[in-house]
Structure 1
């Protein structure tokens, strides 16, 4: 009698490896450019602010298109969109590697890689949920995916620094394309648990309004160092467009049509709080990454490899707690883990600022970065599982897109807010101001986490209350 269990396990393992690697490379892309600031600006004859804009636009494109990406996933199938997203991403990576100027780099990295990520990330979370039916295996799978995602963001500066110093910053984009090729190969036996639904419609009006609104808000933040009135005008315009978006959603729901985003997703109290904590976690991670990397290179004149080595401290801290996600989840509630994560991260930021002011050596950054990594690693997985487990399978496409949108919006906010403070005056004072701003936001995240239900585990009764 033929044993079909082993091949099935192998396909399952390959599928999880592909999904986790996809999350890794997308997170890596958001942070590895931080250590290339000097190299890119000199090679492409641009400025630190030009590189900051490229990084922020990449994160913003992901955020703006993540919810539509989830809708497209439902319509055309999860695996099909996953592969299509990988292909678009690879083209963007290769175009970035050959970029003759900042404009082409933004087209390849910020636009094409951003669009590819928006197509492939929703399937990562939907497939992880659907391929792992029981709570234990699902928690383990999300732990792997989130660990690789956090590792990509935290290790991006180190890997990017090594490649930039040994070869060129352009080789870092070739590396991304090679990883995409590996992911496609691992995905060859992946099965889509649910058939595509061609009857699902895409809310084009909602897509345009939401994307324009988010772009205006983030652009307003980036304009802060140029003109206060321009910043306020862009922020007000963004708020107005987003208000029109939600008005459009209500009108479509009232008429029985399918909007881009159902307002019912915001009526789950636990999920709402989980989304807030996700946003702030990635804001802290990407804001810290850009601010510290820019400060080390521009103010202290570190090269790419030395900057990347400093960030190894955050990588190790994040790895330690991320890979312990399953054990931590079995002993502590999501509320406890997320609150502890924010408390440790804020303490790390305060220590980072204090020691950088007191000492001139690179070692002064290590203790603070270790604490930030430990804190973020402890809470990334609980926040995601709280949100995903608060909704039934038929809503996984929508909530996955919203979840990734919120996280990537946090990343773009982090780079925009902290980076704008820093590039407005690259001094020790600007650095401390940027980091203290992140710490204050982290305290807000701690306050939000305190409102999560006590003692409940994802998927247990009480994990998803209605507001």
Structure 2
């Protein structure tokens, strides 16, 4: 399926002349995905260093990580919608600027509060602004399904490498310099992306007069915040957790009623309800959520266990994660070849099956051997499994809608994925920090394996072959 190349419909402008997308256009987009994924995982190996330097606890660092992921999830849908008003490239550059300021503020943080402001809030807001344009521009530039699979393969590979290699790169920087230098590194990469993004020409004109659904943006953000906060409260107060989850569900239900009412009144909502009527897209969104939940959950659980229970330093912990990085990179870069030979359904099913097997291997070998390298086979399998299915899930969702809905679906897609990342850290962290011993480590991995099984079931419901539009 290819995106239409003619007029985009009333109120959405007309596609201008767009040259064939050169490789240099893909480089800044892939680097942007890399640095945002890196930011979500590199702090996992800084737990001891940050908690000691800022006089906080493991739970405090976990809170900072989770808030960062939560802010991304809560603001990604409004961020995707803003691309229509201010333009995709301008939204990308603005997000990079906000992100860079947050990284520098985090590097100079005197305490946990400033770290949360810089890393969790500003970097989270910056990411919510810059990530939707990455996926919108990729979809608009690469209209052939094979070329799009290749492009998304590169972007998802860089995102996966950022998430999986974050512990290694962060560990090397933390041990060689300090944890603060890791944030300076992020700011430097952002500066490089800004320079490279000058080569990108926005294929669609911005529409500054296009209405923005502020009420819908507030309701969606508040609902997502309440849901994840409720999960974080699980280890403190069961009643508080239940209350927050219920309140979050009610707010999200109110959000859907809000957008339906705006549509009936002929006003543009934050999200079109039509986005939720495509069964294949809905299943793709669900698998995306579960994939990132597993990726971030495994990253947090293994990193915390190795550092806190086994006493490994940041570098040793990061080196162990190279197995997952290698598997994820190899599988993601083969996305184009996989897309030619297998359907998305087959790839996603295979990915979840290999990932669950990897979690089982990780649990069995790590529990039966004192060697750090006992985790390598399991992490390698997890990386391979996730790499196989990340790209087809994204491609299924993005390719389900025409170009005039790319802003909405990109924001929704990234919000769902980042909500999965938030839930992964929150759920796994809640189980783990209750008792930092092997029993809690095993329990957290079993929970993640169960999530993988649910993802496999969802993948079996995908159509055997996506019919072209």
Range class of TM-score, shorter chain: over 0.9
Contact 2:226 2:247 in 1 (8 A): yes
Structure 1 position 280, deviation (Å): 0.2
Contact 2:106 2:183 (8 Å CA) reproduced: yes
Q: Which residue of the partner structure matches residue 434 of structure 1? A: 444
**Deviation per residue, 1:377-414 (Å, 9 max, x gap):** 00000000000001111111110000000000000000
What is the alpha-carbon root mean square deviation over aligned residues?
1.0
Match for 1:104 among 92, 96, 114?
114
Alignment-derived partner of residue 428 in structure 2: 418
Distance 1:140 1:124 in 2: 14
For the pair 1:245 / 2:255, whether they are aligned, the reply is: yes
Name the counterpart of 1:35.
Answer: 45
Structure 1 residue aligned with 2:363, among 335, 353, 360? Answer: 353
CA-CA distance at 1:134 after TM superposition: 2.1
Of residues 234, 238, 245, the one that matches 1:235 is 245
Q: TM-score, normalised by structure 1?
A: 0.95
2:175/2:315 contact within 8 Å kept: yes
- String of CA shifts for 1:74-110, please: whole Å, max 9, x gaps: 1110000100000000000000000000000000000
1:58 aligned onto 2:68: yes
> For the residues of structure 2 that align with 1:138 and 1:355, how far apart are their CA atoms?
38
Return the TM-score normalized by structure 2: 0.95
- Residue in 2 aligned with 1:140? 150
Alpha-carbon distance in 2 for matches of 1:200, 1:452: 35
Which of 331, 345, 368 does residue 378 from structure 2 map onto?
A: 368
Kindly indicate whether residue 131 of structure 2 is the aligned counterpart of residue 121 of structure 1. yes
Q: What is the alpha-carbon distance in structure 2 between the residues aligned to residue 296 and residue 233 of structure 1?
A: 34
2:269 is aligned with 1:259 = yes
Write the distance in 1 (CA, Å) between the matches of 2:425 and 2:398: 26
The corresponding residue for 1:443 is: 453
Structure-1 residue corresponding to 2:15: none
Which residue in the other structure is 2:345 paired with? Answer: 335
Size of the alignment, in residue pairs? 451
- Listed as ranges, the matches of 1:176-255 within 5 Å are 176-255=186-265
2:325 to 311, 315, 334: 315
Match of 2:281 in 1: 271
8 Å contact 2:146–2:340 — kept in the other structure? no
| Selected match of 2:295 from 254, 262, 285 | 285
CA distance, structure 2, for counterparts of residue 13 and residue 327 of structure 1: 18
Structure 2's unaligned 5+ residue stretches are 1-18
Aligned counterpart, 2:394: 384
Contact 2:43 2:167 in 1 (8 A): yes
In 2, are the aligned partners of 1:337 and 1:382 still within 8 Å (CA)?
yes
Alignment check: 8 A CA contact 1:63 1:408 kept: yes
User: C-alpha separation between the residues in 2 aligned to 1:140 and 1:309?
Assistant: 28
Q: CA shift at 1:285, angstroms?
A: 0.1
CA contact (8 A) 1:216 1:234 kept: yes
Q: How far 1:282 sits from its partner (Å)? A: 0.1
What is the alpha-carbon distance in structure 2 between the residues aligned to residue 298 and residue 164 of structure 1?
A: 16
Contact 1:12–1:190 (CA<8 Å) still a contact in 2?
A: no
